[in-house]
Amino acid sequence: MLAIPLPFVMSLLLVIIAILLFTKLPIEGKIPSLFIILCAVSTLVVGLRWTSDVAIFRFLQPIFASFLPVTAWYIFAKAHYRGRISLLHLLGPIVITVCSFWFQFWIDAIDVILTMLYLGYGALLIRYSFSIPEDVRLCDAERVVLAERIAGIMLLVSACIDGVLSLDFIVYGGEHALYILSLSYLLLIPTVVVGVIIVGFSTFRAEPETLSDSQPNYSTDGRIDSPLKSVRLSELDAKNIVHKIDALMQEQEAFRDPNLTLGRLSRKIGTPARQVSMAVNQVCAMNISKVLNEYRITYAKKLLISSEDSITDIYLSSGFQTKSNFNREFVRITGKTPSVYRYDTAVILVK
């Protein structure tokens, strides 16, 4: 029976997933599809490198491997801040490419640089995961943050596996290299791919809303590698921002927009996104996603009492996109499921 190495199987599966995403969801699936293709090619090169030992694959393997953490970080970072990527992020892959031309002389340098890339970008992803992305739908923000954090952890794990690989070359002459690399890609690629798909489907980009003269359009500095500032707002400033948010929700029912993002919310009230997020955390002791869901649940409770609409119609009208998310948040806030809440309230009103 023909035995097909794991990298080839994974590469084929990744190509199929990329094609399905691109054909079924040409807009949302475009960026995830391109990243998945990069992962598929990288995995294929790994398989060819360790099964055929052809020089060209020894040359290509570290180059493709160097682009994976940079590209993964870029996709998540674009969800946090609009702007251009600094060309400095290409420095690592460029150095790896140059060193690969003299692979036999720079093999140790290549291993060290690759490890540093995976450690560095893994740490960046984890750091970013402690803030709400500006261009992600707030209803999806928590799962995107979780996916980002897990992707960062997996990059760190991959860096550790690279250390094990180097040790294998020192002690055993690379005898177990294929198995170690296969394990690394089996852990890293699927996890990061799932994370990229989640952020791709959860990102909503639209033309900025028209702002009045009293609501200036705040934006980032044009670079997506801006530092995550943690300067605390004054109590008065934080409360004023939260008051603006409350007024927007009460007067315009902005929470009913399922595509509302932190970026769009910040532009509506004329306040930088970072300050919006910090103000809500300071005043409400929870993130903006949970605060938004509280407005949605309050609205849903009113509809459950005052209308005979189905629960599906109610959660869609309230701004939720999935019934599971609606039920989870409803139970978190009220301690009851929507159907039980409607029944209990009806019994009380009858009495």
- Quick: pLDDT tens for 23-37: 876 566 677 888 899
Q: Do 228 and 138 belong to one domain? A: no
Range of the domain at 258: 223-285
DSSP secondary structure string for all residues of 277-291 = HHHHHHHHSS-HHHH
Compute the average pLDDT of residues 220-230. 46
Separation between Cα atoms, residue 91 and residue 185, nearest integer Å: 23
> Rg of the Cα trace of the chain?
24
Q: What is the pLDDT of residue 124?
A: 93
- The mean of the pLDDT values for the chain is 83
Q: Quick check: is 337 in a domain?
A: yes
Res. 3: pLDDT tops 70: no
CATH, residue 323:
1.10.10.60
Q: Do 228 and 301 belong to one domain? A: no
Q: Do 188 and 321 belong to one domain? A: no
Q: Do 263 and 295 belong to one domain? A: no
Q: What is the pLDDT of residue 338?
A: 93
Q: What is the pLDDT of residue 224?
A: 45
Confidence of residue 313 (pLDDT cuts 50, 70, 90): very high
Helix 141-172 to helix 55-80 angle (10° resolution) is 160
pLDDT digits 0-9 by tens, 259-308:
899 989 999 999 998 899 999 999 998 999 999 999 999 999 999 998 88
Separation between Cα atoms, residue 134 and residue 244, nearest integer Å: 18
Q: Quick check: is 129 in a domain?
A: yes
Backbone angles phi, psi at 223, to 5 degrees: -125, 135
Q: Quick check: is 218 in a domain?
A: no
Q: Do 157 and 18 belong to one domain? A: yes
Q: Is 182 or 80 the better-scoring residue by pLDDT?
A: 80
Confidence of residue 142 (pLDDT cuts 50, 70, 90): confident
Q: Do 126 and 266 belong to one domain? A: no
Degrees, nearest 5: CA angle 167-171-174? 75
Res. 202: pLDDT tops 60: yes
Q: Quick check: is 209 in a domain?
A: no
Angstrom distances, CA of residue 7 to CA of 40, 45, 49: 9, 8, 10
**Structural domains of the chain, count:** 3
Compute the average pLDDT of residues 87-109. 85
Place of tokens 């702007």: 83
Q: Do 228 and 166 belong to one domain? A: no
Place of tokens 């052809």: 54
Res. 192: pLDDT tops 70: yes
Q: Quick check: is 332 in a domain?
A: yes
Q: Do 113 and 36 belong to one domain? A: yes
Q: What is the pLDDT of residue 32?
A: 84
Q: Do 48 and 162 belong to one domain? A: yes
Among candidate residues 172, 202, 232, the one where a domain is terminated: 202
Q: Quick check: is 101 in a domain?
A: yes
Q: Quick check: is 32 in a domain?
A: yes
Among candidate residues 285, 311, 334, the one where a domain is terminated: 285
Q: What is the pLDDT of residue 225?
A: 44
Q: Do 187 and 121 belong to one domain? A: yes
Q: What is the pLDDT of residue 80?
A: 83
Compute the average pLDDT of residues 46-59. 81
Residues 6+ apart with CB under 8 A from 346: 305
* Least confident segment among 52-66, 180-194, 229-243, 320-334: 180-194
CB atoms within 10 A of CB 250: 11
Please name which of 110, 115, 89 lies closest in space to residue 100, comparing C-alpha atoms.
110
Residues 6+ apart with CB under 8 A from 70: 89, 90, 92, 93, 117, 121
* Residue 109: alpha-carbon gap to chain centroid: 31
Q: Do 304 and 256 belong to one domain? A: no
Residues 6+ apart with CB under 8 A from 324: none
User: What's the pTM value of the predicted model, to 2 decimals?
Assistant: 0.79
Exposed, middle or buried, 137 (CB in 10 Å: 0-12/13-18/19+)?
buried
Q: Do 310 and 241 belong to one domain? A: no
Residue 84 pairs with which residues in a beta bridge?
223
